[in-house]
Structure 1
Amino acid sequence: MSLYSFGLEPLSCHAWNKDRTQIAISPNSNVVNIYQKKGKEWVKIHELTEHSGRITGIDWAPESNRIVTCASDRNAYVWTLKDGVWKPTLVLVRINRAATCVKWSPLENKFALGSGAKLISVCYFEQENDWWLSKHIKKPIRSTVLSLDWHPNNILLAAGSADLHCRIFSAYIKDIEEKPGPTPWGAKMPFGELLMDHKDCGGWVHGVCFSPSGDSLAWVSHNSAISVAHATQGKEVTQLTTEHLPLLSVLYVSETEMVAAGHDCCPYQFSYKGPGDLTWVKKLDVPKQTSKTGMSAMQHFRNLDKKATTEEEGSELDTLHQNSITQLSIVEGTRAKVEKFSSVALDGAMGLWDFKH
């Protein structure tokens, strides 16, 4: 475990380049900063400044080396590196509310964008006019789309939203790809086809993630629960309500293991062996050794009197992060066997975590 600070501003989203030597982060503003690892330090090498609203999503396509960003200004840009400068291309996302999240598809020929406009924009490049177009998935979304993840087949798209639903849609665009074959989630694949709709999530769905095979989908919701649906088991949903604060991000680290983190400021490991078998494994953060001694009753009341607190100096949490973790991302290994992952949080820091299988 190691922690790197990027200043005092909260970090809401981040994305890595292919070889993990560079990271794109937004410090809760309309700017995306790109840092490069030099020795033990992260040095800022680029600044992307086209947006006029707070950045809400960043994704970096490993093969094409393109970055997509979206923001509360209702815009999205695809950035291409030309002669050492990142050049933006505006995307016609056609939304009248803030964008909330964005994700490249596995083949990098399209990306999905969630927004407060109660719809998902699936964006693809049109060669003739040299611009990015979008098609909308609207029905039956009733509120802001908060999280997205692509199935490994490049066609299916999972979405979690503030209407307490978790859904899987077909995002097949016939202009740019061949007709897909059937999948365990369903056989009919016209654009916008609803293949799963779990309506009893119990809270806003903050994070969604397909397993490496794509046969199961995990999500975390605001009622402190983590849930998994399995395609080959009749889309049966297993829900585990934890005793922690709500989780905001979930990441599969193997076909049966996942890591989730959120308002508790540290990642937890969960295991899913099949329908009905979803368990909490352990906390992945080792508490810091504090040299704080017990407080006498007298000291306790003195603090209460002087500062209206019962604590001694230093209200540090015993976790690596000192505020809510907003996003988890793979750093080393494949989706089927993640060896290292990263976390960014509202404390302005990024953590790197080794995962031992």
Structure 2
Amino acid sequence: MTEQHRFGTTVAPITCHAWNKQKNQIAISPNNQEVHIYEKSGSEWKITDNLAQHDLRVMGIDWAPNTNRIVTCSADRNAYVWNQDSDKKWKPTLVLLRINRAATCVKWSPDENKFAVGSGARLVSVCYFESENDWWVSKHIKKPLRSTVTALDWHPNNTLLVVGSTDFKVRVFSAHIKDIESAPEPTPWGSKTTLGTLLAEFSNSSSGGGWVQSVSFSPDGNKICWVAHDSTVNVADASKGNATIKLRTEFLPFMSCTWVSNNSIVAAGHSCVPVLYHHVDNGIVFSAKLDASQKKESGGLSAMKMFHSLDKQARSESSDTSIHSIHQNAITCICLYDGTKASCKKLSTSGLDGLLVIWDINSLERSIQGLKIV
């Protein structure tokens, strides 16, 4: 069971999207320098605000559910934190990123007291609020990053950060800011908490390799998964000595991934369908495509009649550009919609076709014989 939504009067690719806590509002970027806020009214989505502070294409959006703040980053090298004022309009607060290349991705920490911004400047800006000057300041994680940061995600302890980049590497860093938080308890990733400490590094360059597109910490924080441009899904487990498992899939490269339970991953990308994988002791197992769309029938025409019809219209079968899936172009973003990484019931995807789809994982689980998410 799925829900399909479109926004606005024109079809534009959706670069990224984020939900508020109640899931009755959504922030999307229509592949330009703007962020549109929509609110659901009955069965329709109505635009309530347009965040137009950026000068170049917005690359990342994240909505902090508990503090109701939005953070955006852009190719203009800037990030803004947006707060609602008394008239329900969103007002920006400056973030001092101190970068000289595009900001590529952004993510609030679990406690929502800081966020991280990846960039083409080969660094991560860990940002926190400085009340004296009423702005957000940043500290940098640099070494040993050697290329553009494409993806990042926070550990549940609010301190560790997993970073993926185009140097074919996935790294786990400490992102502890001693000015605003106390030192966390040790984890299987290590006990050092100094900002920028490299706790683990994994290479995606074996057997051809590919740059990393998306990363995600597991609900318990002991594992990370990532997808790369070589059409692989990967899992590393700190509780087993950083043991790494790679699955080379039959699909086109994935662009986004997330855990939906402590042993299950959903990934989506250029094949236009979300795919569910299950992590077991000895590997990563394909479970199901979440999109059960079937190939369109030819209306009962025989092969000879289809041939004559095509011949009369002077066209070939290859002129049909539609594909047999709900999304008609690459999926660029996956967000949790109902539940958490530990037990996700629904998730949403958006893509270059301008469509947003909400997938009911529980319903799909029941419809697939023998499939269980544990």
**Corresponding residue for residue 55 of structure 1:** 58
Structure 1 position 288, deviation (Å):
3.9
Which residue of structure 1 lines up, in the alignment, with residue 178 of structure 2? Answer: 174
Supply the AA of the counterpart residue of 2:152.
Answer: L
SS at match of 2:239: helix
- For residue 193 of structure 1, the aligned residue among 180, 191, 197 is 197
Match in the other structure for 1:85 = 89
Retained in 1: the 8 A contact 2:225–2:234?
yes
**1:12 and 2:15 matched:** yes
Output the CA distance in 2 between the equivalents of 1:294 and 1:144: 53
TM-score, L = length of structure 2: 0.91
CA-to-aligned-CA distance 1:233-276 (integer Å, 9 cap, x gap):
001110000010000110111000111000000100000023x3
Equivalent position of 1:273 in the other structure: 280
Query: After superposition, what is the alpha-carbon deviation per residue over 1:43-86, rounded to whole angstroms, capped at 9, x for unaligned?
Result: 11111010001000000000110000000100000000011110
Residue among 257, 261, 265 paired with 1:254: 261
The within-5 A match list for 1:219-258 is 219-258=226-265
Q: What residue in structure 2 maps to residue 263 of structure 1?
A: 270
Matching residue within 207, 211, 221 for 1:214: 221
Equivalent in 302, 309, 325 of residue 311 of structure 2: 302
Aligned to 1:122: 126
Q: Which amino acid aligns with 1:157?
A: L
The question of whether the paired residues in 1 share the 8 Å contact of 2:247 and 2:283 is answered with: no
Whole-angstrom distance in 1 between the partners of 2:243 and 2:101? 34
Does residue 106 (structure 1) correspond to residue 110 (structure 2)? The answer is yes
Tell me how far apart the structure 2 counterparts of residues 316 and 200 of structure 1 sit (CA, whole Å): 33
CA distance in 2, matches of 1:262, 1:153: 29
Q: Deviations over 1:20-56 (max 9, x none)?
A: 1100000001110011111111111111010001000
SS of alignment partner, residue 317 of structure 2:
coil
Show the counterpart of 1:336.
342
Match of 2:366 in 1: none
1:307-326 aligned within 5 A: 307=315, 309-311=316-318, 314-326=320-332
What is the aligned counterpart of 1:71 among 74, 78, 81? 74
1:151-210: CA deviation from partner (whole Å, max 9, x where unpaired): 000000001100000111000011111012211101111100011111234111001011
Matched residue of 1:123: which SS? strand
2:34 aligned partner: 31
Q: Distance in 2 between matches of 1:257 and 1:204?
A: 23
Say which is worse superposed, 123-132 or 63-72, in terms of deviation.
Answer: 123-132
State how far apart, in whole Å, the 1-side matches of 2:40 and 2:204 are. 43
Q: Secondary structure at the match of 1:253?
A: strand
CA, structure 1 residues 299+95, in 2 after alignment: closer, same or farther (shift >3 Å)? Answer: farther
Give the distance between the partners of 1:146 and 1:315, measured in 2 at CA: 30
Contact 2:233 2:246 in 1 (8 A): yes
Aligned mate of 1:286, from 292, 296, 300: 292
**Contact in 1 for aligned 2:246/2:283 (Cα 8 Å):** no
Aligned amino acid, residue 208 of structure 1: V
Instruction: State the one-letter code of the partner of 1:302.
Output: D
Query: Following the alignment from structure 1 to structure 2, what is the Cα–Cα distance between the partners of residues 301 and 64?
Result: 58
Task: Give 3-state SS (helix, strand or coil) of 2:318's partner.
Answer: coil
1:42 matches 2:45: yes
- 2:163 aligns with 159
Q: Deviations over 1:266-302 (max 9, x none)?
A: 100000023x321111111011462325654845973
Give the partner amino acid of 1:57. G
**Secondary structure in 1 matching 2:106:** strand
Q: Residue 347 of structure 1 is aligned with which of 345, 353, 356?
A: 353
Task: Give the AA of the match of 2:71.
Answer: V
Change (3 A) 1:129 1:294: farther
Contact 1:300 1:310 in 2 (8 A): no
Structure 1 distance, partners of 2:303, 2:96, is 60
Correspondent of 1:150 among 143, 147, 154: 154
Partners of 1:169 and 1:48 lie apart in 2 by 32
Change (3 A) 1:311 1:150: same
How far does residue 316 in structure 1 lie from its aligned partner after superposition? 1.4
Amino acid at match of 1:262: G
Letter aligned with residue 72 of structure 1: A
Asked whether the equivalents of residues 209 and 217 of structure 1 are also in contact (C-alpha less than 8 Å), the reply is yes
The answer on whether the counterparts of 1:250 and 1:258 sit within 8 Å (CA) in structure 2 is: yes
Secondary structure at 1:311 match in 2: helix
Identical pairs, percent: 50
Q: Distance in 1 between matches of 2:342 and 2:310?
A: 53
Query: For residues 233 and 294 of structure 1, what CA distance do their matches in structure 2 show?
Result: 58
